[in-house]
Amino acid sequence: MSVTSRYRDAWEGFWREAPDTPHAVFWDTEPALTAGRHLALFEPHLTDPGLPMVDLGCGNGTQTRYLADRFAHVIGADLATAALDRARRADPAGRAAYRRLDAADKSEVRTLHAELGDANVYLRGVLHQSEPGDRQKVADSLAALLGARGRAFLVEPSEAAVTVLSGLAEGADGPPPKLAPVLRHGIAPGTLADDALPEHLRAAGLTVLRRGELPLITTEYRPDGTRIELPSIWLVAGRAR
């Protein structure tokens, strides 16, 4: 079963209307502050760095292009065609491949795995944005993409991030400019309990190999000029050997 049309339409609308400039989206942070930091934690756990690397939920491809400079075969996958159109335009050299994928659709995921074989997967902030009923489906899809040899790096805002986001959304002047479109399109971040993330992975047959905490840095700033950061939890997961 795939995601709801409401959810898909919300993301299409968001990406159609988002400014087509670097770092204009709330989470579109420079790779040195996101994927670069994450790779330092992820790479030591890759049993086979030569496997394809899937950036699942790639959006406009900022992190995908960074990954493509470091791995031979990188695929940016996203639900929204409008996001993938942006990713392709920003990558005229075709350093990465881009693919529309509904991660809650088992048949689509199986097709991709059949084409790629086992893959490593980078997943940033996807589960908390998924509808609650789809989260286990996405975790199951992740396990299917990894197969026996792949490894996954996941990072999600922690429960403590909800307080930060609520404070931003309910401020006297309204939400910050880059957060406002997220809320307007109905893709507001959802609460994902800290214990739920590893449980979803275990239910999918995966083992959590390492976990920790690391702030997710956004592209938005507070009135005092400091960057808005969200508390987050990261995990490395794969099949037990």
Chain segment 1-41, per-residue pLDDT in tens: 555 788 889 999 999 999 988 899 999 999 999 999 999 99
Topology at the third CATH level for domain 5-238: Rossmann fold (3.40.50)
Q: Is the pLDDT of residue 188 over 80?
A: no
Calculate ∠ Cα 2-63-50, nearest 5°.
85
Strand ranges inside 31-119, DSSP E: 53-56, 74-78, 97-100
| 104 neighbors 141 (Cβ within 8 angstroms) | yes
List Cα–Cα distances, 184 to 70, 86, 171, in angstroms.
36, 21, 16
* pLDDT single digits (tens) 60-94: 999 999 999 999 999 999 999 999 999 999 999 99
Q: pTM above 0.85?
A: yes
Closest CA to 149 of 125, 106, 116: 116
